[in-house]
């Protein structure tokens, strides 16, 4: 594409910038739009990936069909299959009516799957089937349905790393990555930063009826050299804040004023609390006290949890057998072992150094030995055993009630929604 054609695309979709990386991404999006190929858009969060999905849809033969953008990371794992593929009435708790999924409602259109790297593995398998042969099955149904949807996906994570870590399917990655488009981060776009800042401040000045914002030369250089971890979204927020809060617009914004908005949490020259602590060894005692308190509280909570589990098992039909087979788990509370209270720490001591005196830590020697028992024995062994017992109790409750979740949940003293989540967590076959 020649420069005039690329500029026409930018004007149509409100894209500002002249950097080579941005122009190349637009060129690829325009070329692939006329096809039905699957596209994977990569780039940091806030870099404008959704704009490229709209370019692809609007310039394709599906432009008169529906377009929908879905943030996969914002949909809970338990409902994403229903959202994407639909469900039948009664397929799960709360499914009072049948529902169409996005792949059905956007038939003949384009679906934009943002943050596809956050999609659960089970849903990834369903999506792979759609991409390979256009087929899907609603939740709670056995009927195979067809859809003619183009998929454009986007992610701000490295999917190859996710594949190596077992969090993303390798076959789905190569199926999505038919045509890759990389959107450069704002910090790599040079003078585009100033163009975008000017556009945002002019828009906000008109909206709030204030004087336009101008920067002096040093402030411009500072803006150009800033990393912008939030990319365009962060730049837009900064432009809006300056437009509203800086009422004295007769003179250009100085570098000191701009730096206040670029680093609102930790301005230049101000040391953080962590840095202050690193420069003052006298505060290390306060941190040790805090650690001891946390570990003591952990030990107390484990003891209370064992008491609670024992009381539940004593009231269960099969609980007596479990208690008999695992007496060693509850031996400490059977012997009425006292719970050691955690040392009291004044809140002010956590943020200020202690008085100048020699601190005797020998009084913690016995407690440290008990803490090691908690961390290395209780936390690693007994907590795992409790999960096994919980799974065993759920299985017995389901069998006792003929796999009817409502009655099993009542017998366990939990909600039906919680029981459903536990069944999924422990992969219990009903």
Q: Count how many Cα atoms sit within 13 Å of the Cα of residue 215 in the half-sphere of its side chain.
A: 23
**Which of 147, 166, 184 is the C-terminal boundary of a domain?**
184
Average pLDDT of span 21-27: 96
Is position 273 within any domain? no
Residues 175 and 200 in one domain: no
Does residue 247 carry a pLDDT above 80?
Answer: no
Is position 74 within any domain? yes
Give percent of the chain with pLDDT exceeding 90.
52
Is position 274 within any domain? no
At 108 the pLDDT is: 95
**For the domain that residue 133 is a member of, what is the CATH number?**
3.40.50.300
DSSP for 63-126?
TTS-EEEEEGGGS-TTTHHHHHH-B-TTSSTT--S-B--HHHHTTTSEEEEETGGGS-HHHHHH
Does residue 67 carry a pLDDT above 60?
Answer: yes
Residues 180 and 66 in one domain: yes
Residues 306 and 230 in one domain: no
Is position 267 within any domain? no
At 328 the pLDDT is: 66
Residues 58 and 118 in one domain: yes
Residues 298 and 251 in one domain: no
Residues 234 and 296 in one domain: no
Token pair recorded at residue 153: 């996906």
97/311: higher pLDDT: 97
Residues 98 and 126 in one domain: yes
Is position 269 within any domain? no
Residue 413, sorted as left (phi over 0), alpha (psi -120 to 50) or beta, turns out to be left
Which structural domain, as residue segments, surrounds residue 50? 3-184
Which of 401, 395, 402 lies closest to 422 in space, CA to CA? Answer: 395
CA dihedral 176, 182, 185, 187 (to 10 degrees): 160
Average pLDDT of span 312-341: 61
Average pLDDT of span 77-90: 92
**Which of 197, 230, 262 is the C-terminal boundary of a domain?**
262
Which of 201, 296, 282 lies closest to 244 in space, CA to CA? Answer: 201
Provide the 8-state DSSP code for 177. T
Q: What is the pLDDT of residues 396-407, one digit of tens each?
A: 888 888 888 888
Residues 25 and 61 in one domain: yes
Residues 41 and 94 in one domain: yes
CA dihedral 241, 244, 250, 254 (to 10 degrees): -20
Cβ(200)–Cβ(240) below 8 Å: yes
d(CA 120, CA 167): 8
Provide the 8-state DSSP code for 167. S
At 288 the pLDDT is: 54
- Out of 41-45, 75-79, 353-357, least confident range: 353-357
Cβ(238)–Cβ(196) below 8 Å: no
Does residue 286 carry a pLDDT above 80?
Answer: no
**For the domain that residue 229 is a member of, what is the CATH number?**
1.10.8.60
Is position 236 within any domain? yes
Residues 25 and 138 in one domain: yes
**Which of 229, 262, 295 is the C-terminal boundary of a domain?**
262
Residues 44 and 178 in one domain: yes
Q: What is the pLDDT of residues 174-191, one digit of tens each?
A: 999 999 999 999 999 999
At 331 the pLDDT is: 64
Residues 250 and 298 in one domain: no
Average pLDDT of span 327-353: 49
Is position 215 within any domain? yes
- Quote the number of domains for the chain: 3
At 404 the pLDDT is: 83
Q: Please, what is the Cα angle at 247 between 244 and 249, to 5 degrees?
A: 110
Average pLDDT of span 364-383: 43
Is position 272 within any domain? no
Q: What is the pLDDT of residues 115-156, one digit of tens each?
A: 999 999 999 999 999 999 999 999 999 999 999 999 999 999
Does residue 383 carry a pLDDT above 50?
Answer: no
Q: How many CB atoms lie within 10 A of CB 45?
A: 16
What is the pTM assigned to this prediction?
0.61
């Amino acid at each position: 594409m020649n420069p005039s054609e690329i500029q026409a695309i930018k004007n149509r979709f409100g894209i500002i910038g002249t950097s080579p990386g941005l122009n190349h991404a637009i060129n690829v999006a325009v070329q692939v739009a006329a096809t039905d190929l699957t596209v994977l858009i990569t780039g940091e969060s806030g870099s404008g990936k959704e704009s490229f999905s709209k370019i692809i849809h609007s310039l394709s033969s599906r432009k008169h069909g529906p377009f929908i953008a879905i943030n996969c990371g914002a949909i809970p794992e338990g409902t994403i299959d229903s959202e994407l593929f639909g469900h039948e009435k009664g397929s799960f708790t709360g499914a009072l009516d049948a529902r169409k999924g996005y792949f059905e409602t956007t038939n003949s259109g384009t679906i934009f799957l943002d943050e596809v790297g956050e999609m659960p593995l089970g849903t990834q398998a369903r999506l792979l089937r759609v991409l390979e042969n256009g087929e899907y099955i609603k939740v709670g149904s056995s009927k195979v349905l067809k859809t003619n949807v183009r998929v454009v996906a986007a992610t701000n994570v490295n999917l190859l790393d996710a594949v190596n870590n077992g969090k993303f399917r390798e076959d789905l990655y190569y199926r999505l990555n038919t045509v890759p488009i990389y959107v450069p981060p704002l910090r790599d776009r040079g003078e585009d930063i100033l163009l975008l800042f000017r556009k945002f401040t002019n828009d906000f000045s008109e909206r709030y009826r204030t004087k336009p914002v101008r920067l002096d030369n040093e402030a411009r250089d500072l803006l150009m050299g800033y990393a912008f971890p939030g990319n365009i979204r962060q730049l837009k927020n900064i432009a809006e804040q300056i437009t509203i809060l800086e009422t004295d617009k007769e003179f250009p914004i100085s570098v000191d004023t701009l730096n206040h908005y670029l680093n609102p949490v930790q301005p230049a020259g101000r040391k953080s609390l962590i840095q202050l602590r690193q420069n003052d060894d006298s505060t290390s005692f306060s941190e040790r006290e805090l650690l001891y308190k946390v570990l003591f509280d952990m030990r107390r909570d484990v003891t209370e949890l064992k008491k609670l589990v024992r009381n539940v098992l004593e009231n269960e039909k099969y609980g007596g057998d479990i208690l008999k087979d695992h007496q060693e788990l509850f031996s400490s509370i059977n012997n009425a072992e006292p719970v050691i209270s955690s040392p009291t720490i004044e809140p002010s001591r956590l943020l200020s150094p202690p008085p100048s005196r020699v601190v005797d830590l020998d009084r913690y020697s016995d407690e440290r030995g008990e803490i090691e028992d908690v961390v290395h024995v209780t936390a690693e062994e007994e907590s795992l055993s409790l999960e096994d017992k919980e799974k065993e109790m759920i299985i017995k409750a389901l069998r006792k009630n003929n796999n009817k979740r409502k009655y099993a949940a009542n017998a366990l003293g939990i909600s039906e929604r919680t029981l459903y989540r536990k069944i999924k967590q422990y992969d219990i076959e009903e």
